[in-house]
Chain A
């Protein structure tokens, strides 16, 4: 009957998990798996996998084939990348949205369940909402973002005679501010909703697990000293001093066949 207990290791996958978790689970005898497996070291990050392009190896080896577009057009991508970089710019603390791959993250998210609002309540009727009632538009996120990027270029073309990606950084900030405050003068466009979503996506792209295409090389996490995906902090939780750990990602926890 022991195998009926779902909280006990019953198969290879549980054993592997415990091995990679690198944790000491006290003296518990978990379905007969003791010592040896529990407490093994966490798999080390493979240096080559995280190396920056061009730094080592041939260009072809280091090409990130995930950096391609599922949803945006080239222009939409360029606009999104430029806007995200102003929201989360490169500075002395580390890379900005562009280097982190935030626009690729956005692109990929737009064809996910999130972009299609697949798990949101989308049934009619639609009415104008009070602020306390939240998002009430028939528009899906991946429709809203395209409309928003287009509106940014339209606004920028009118005001500066150039598309958004080509105007000066201060001008880009002025455009973004106009959207944030809903002062674009563009009729029937929910600029504030768009901006809030775009801002949110930028933060997600900077800090989500690199598996989603942003937070390249975990550089977003490193800036904040966020250790990412570790299995145990039991040994550190009482420590007075700040503990810096090399971050780990979900990739480091997957056993490849």
Chain B
């Protein structure tokens, strides 16, 4: 029997960016919060010996322990889903700060087009341009409505960026908190080439701090050292904005946060109309607790958000056959694979040096910034050169046709270690009627509960996007004064083995129609008004960008919604 704990105003499931931001905002407003995190506690000191590629990048030290829970996967409904037994395609966060500890910090607000993708697409091209089975929809919120929340995140995290941004992306009411990242010679080559072609390059806005910064909550942090161990690593300087060095200290200092680590939430308890709390297992003791609360906030990343709704039988499960229901709908990802490598025989670059968010990019072929008439895909990609710090185990650059091992391979990797620059596209992923999340009928987690099952594949329109964007990356690379360039312009099936991106989206999407969306634009659940669900699981599609700027803005919006709800109750829209 679970031990019943005293009731609290708010319980949050998951303490990453979303949980941390909401905890900070609510506790600052004097509201008591219980934060449940299934991983361990962490702080900056854990990273003094973090420059270890094997342990952190190759063995995934900071990521979710898959022996306890993973995701099962199949490409199509005809296949049997099998568990992702070891890491590959994406890396799940676990522990205080979640994936916010080991992210890169590339910070992109989604485009105004993204939030109204359906109406803007139909307005410009008519309905017929939307490929069959593509289920794009408006988000139920506009860029203008979300703008103040982006600002909050930027000021909190100390986001750096240029003063003037290209006119083809969302405009900002308040400039970035800190100056843009430094420009490496390779970034300059990318920018010069892009300008020559008439594009509008800009330095990637970054959560790697560029100068000493004190945020509105009084948190002071030191600047980034371009140390090259950022993606998959924690930052020993606290320079990378991470929940543990930004929002969580604020929540803790308020005295209103009751943070419980090793607390694995297994159910949302509800009566069909309202939630009454959650059940969790304290993993070191195996003891089960129920935590009653007035408001339940789901902040456990999309796989947990969707899975716990389904396991708790809250909301209507999505059924692709009948195209009804909402929980699990519109799973989307990131369409990578378009790129061009530029090889330099005459010079070497300092590619071991870099930072998670160091780079420059263009949006001339992102969103609807270009004419899609005659093209067989929607949206596009942010095209970029990034210098995140290349490490020798996982980076073996060779020209096409080089053997995969042996003398010739060794020679080529050593020769090219510091001679290749890659221009890559980060493509948008359109939702599809047959791409979705549900419970696996066969595989279970360590507690005997069904795993979440993903059904996802690349479609013809994705392959078209990659081909088109690859051509643009080649155009730029060809102007970058390289000895030769090599284009990569095709993707086949989605394969869960190679790492691609931890930008999984959808499953508890937002919208204005309770039939096809799970939450309204305050991220409040249609079917239970005291449940708020927040994260990239709210995205009805994924843009040609990294997600966390938009996730962060939605988290601030959620915090505001929860406060309104605690004051007034009922549906907020």
Task: Check A135–B354 contact: CB distance below 8 A.
Answer: no
Most chain A C-beta atoms within 10 Å of own C-beta, residue among B45, B349, B405, B418: B405
Residues of A near B348 (CB, < 8 A) are 225, 242
Residues of B near A44 (CB, < 8 A) are none
Residues of A near B411 (CB, < 8 A) are 91, 93
How many Å lie between the Cα of A17 and that of B48 in the bound state? Answer: 7
Partner-contacting stretch, out of A62-70, A111-119, A155-163? A111-119
Across the two chains, which residue of chain B brings its CB closest to A227? B352
Task: Check A229–B54 contact: CB distance below 8 A.
Answer: no
Q: B195 on the interface (CB 8 Å rule)?
A: no
Interface string of A27-60 (1 = CB under 8 A from B): 1101000000000000000000000000000000
Task: Check A21–B212 contact: CB distance below 8 A.
Answer: no
How many Å lie between the Cα of A253 and that of B47 in the bound state? Answer: 12
Residues of B near A132 (CB, < 8 A) are 73, 75, 493-497
Task: Check B354–A7 contact: CB distance below 8 A.
Answer: no
Interface string of B429-464 (1 = CB under 8 A from A): 000000000000011100000000000000000000
How many Å lie between the Cα of A65 and that of B352 in the bound state? Answer: 31
How many Å lie between the Cα of A242 and that of B237 in the bound state? Answer: 26
Residues of A near B406 (CB, < 8 A) are 86-87, 89, 173
What is the minimal beta-carbon distance from B243 to any residue of chain A, in angstroms? 11
What is the minimal beta-carbon distance from A172 to any residue of chain B, in angstroms? 10
Number of A-B pairs whose CB atoms are under 8 Å?
Answer: 221
Q: A6 on the interface (CB 8 Å rule)?
A: yes
Q: B396 on the interface (CB 8 Å rule)?
A: yes
A204-232 interface with B by 8 A CB criterion = 204, 206-209, 211-212, 220-221, 223-232
Task: Check B396–A203 contact: CB distance below 8 A.
Answer: yes
How many Å lie between the Cα of A191 and that of B221 in the bound state? Answer: 51
Task: Check A224–B228 contact: CB distance below 8 A.
Answer: no
What is the minimal beta-carbon distance from A200 to any residue of chain B, in angstroms? 8
Residues of A near B165 (CB, < 8 A) are none
* Of the residues B67, B212, B391, B496, contact of A121 by C-beta under 8 Å: B67
Interface string of B404-442 (1 = CB under 8 A from A): 111100110110011000000000000000000000001
Task: Check B222–A4 contact: CB distance below 8 A.
Answer: no
Task: Check A250–B52 contact: CB distance below 8 A.
Answer: yes
Residues of B near A114 (CB, < 8 A) are 59
Residues of B near A234 (CB, < 8 A) are 182, 223-226
Task: Check A134–B79 contact: CB distance below 8 A.
Answer: no
What is the minimal beta-carbon distance from A14 to any residue of chain B, in angstroms? 7
Task: Check B493–A204 contact: CB distance below 8 A.
Answer: no
* Of the residues A8, A13, A207, contact of B220 by C-beta under 8 Å: A8
Partner-contacting stretch, out of A73-81, A123-131, A142-150, A182-190? A123-131
Q: A122 on the interface (CB 8 Å rule)?
A: yes
Q: B140 on the interface (CB 8 Å rule)?
A: no
Q: Knowing A26-B222, A242-B350, say if A209 contacts B48 (CB, 8 Å).
A: no
Residues of A near B212 (CB, < 8 A) are 25-28
Task: Check A221–B350 contact: CB distance below 8 A.
Answer: no
B206-265 interface with A by 8 A CB criterion = 211-212, 219-228, 236-238, 244-245, 248-249, 252-253
Q: B109 on the interface (CB 8 Å rule)?
A: no
Chain A residues within 8 Å of chain B by Cβ, number: 80
Chain B interface size range: 35 or more
* Of the residues B43, B54, B352, B410, contact of A204 by C-beta under 8 Å: B54
Q: B51 on the interface (CB 8 Å rule)?
A: yes
* Of the residues A96, A121, A173, contact of B70 by C-beta under 8 Å: A121
Across the two chains, which residue of chain B brings its CB closest to A134? B497
How many Å lie between the Cα of A237 and that of B84 in the bound state? Answer: 38
Across the two chains, which residue of chain A brings its CB closest to B49? A250
Q: A151 on the interface (CB 8 Å rule)?
A: no
Task: Check A121–B84 contact: CB distance below 8 A.
Answer: yes
Task: Check A253–B182 contact: CB distance below 8 A.
Answer: no
**Chain A interface secondary structure, helix, strand, loop or mixed?**
loop
How many Å lie between the Cα of A51 and that of B149 in the bound state? Answer: 57
Across the two chains, which residue of chain A brings its CB closest to B457? A132
Task: Check B410–A88 contact: CB distance below 8 A.
Answer: yes
What is the minimal beta-carbon distance from B571 to any residue of chain A, in angstroms? 38
Residues of A near B54 (CB, < 8 A) are 204, 208-209, 212
Task: Check A7–B414 contact: CB distance below 8 A.
Answer: no
How many Å lie between the Cα of A199 and that of B396 in the bound state? Answer: 12
Task: Check A120–B85 contact: CB distance below 8 A.
Answer: yes
Task: Check B83–A229 contact: CB distance below 8 A.
Answer: no
Residues of B near A229 (CB, < 8 A) are 51-52
Across the two chains, which residue of chain B brings its CB closest to A112? B59
* Of the residues B58, B84, B253, contact of A1 by C-beta under 8 Å: B253
Task: Check A230–B85 contact: CB distance below 8 A.
Answer: no
Task: Check A119–B392 contact: CB distance below 8 A.
Answer: no
Q: Knowing A28-B222, A199-B404, A250-B49, say if A237 contacts B253 (CB, 8 Å).
A: no
Task: Check A134–B404 contact: CB distance below 8 A.
Answer: no
Task: Check B59–A220 contact: CB distance below 8 A.
Answer: no
Task: Check B44–A25 contact: CB distance below 8 A.
Answer: no
Q: A168 on the interface (CB 8 Å rule)?
A: no
Q: B169 on the interface (CB 8 Å rule)?
A: no
Task: Check A207–B53 contact: CB distance below 8 A.
Answer: yes
Q: B65 on the interface (CB 8 Å rule)?
A: yes
Task: Check A208–B53 contact: CB distance below 8 A.
Answer: yes
What is the minimal beta-carbon distance from A199 to any residue of chain B, in angstroms? 6
How many Å lie between the Cα of A93 and that of B84 in the bound state? Answer: 39
B74-104 interface with A by 8 A CB criterion = 74-75, 79-80, 82-86, 88
Task: Check A120–B353 contact: CB distance below 8 A.
Answer: no
* Of the residues A6, A96, A230, contact of B43 by C-beta under 8 Å: A6
Of the A-B pairs whose beta carbons lie under 8 Å apart in the complex, a sample of 7, sorted by A's number, is A25-B223, A120-B86, A121-B84, A134-B84, A231-B227, A237-B350, A237-B354
Closest 3 CB pairs of A and B: A233-B353, A232-B225, A207-B392
B positions within 8 Å CB-CB of A:
43-45, 48-49, 51-54, 58-60, 65-67, 69-70, 73-75, 79-80, 82-86, 88, 182-185, 211-212, 219-228, 236-238, 244-245, 248-249, 252-253, 347-350, 352-354, 358, 391-393, 396, 404-407, 410-411, 413-414, 417-418, 442-444, 493-497
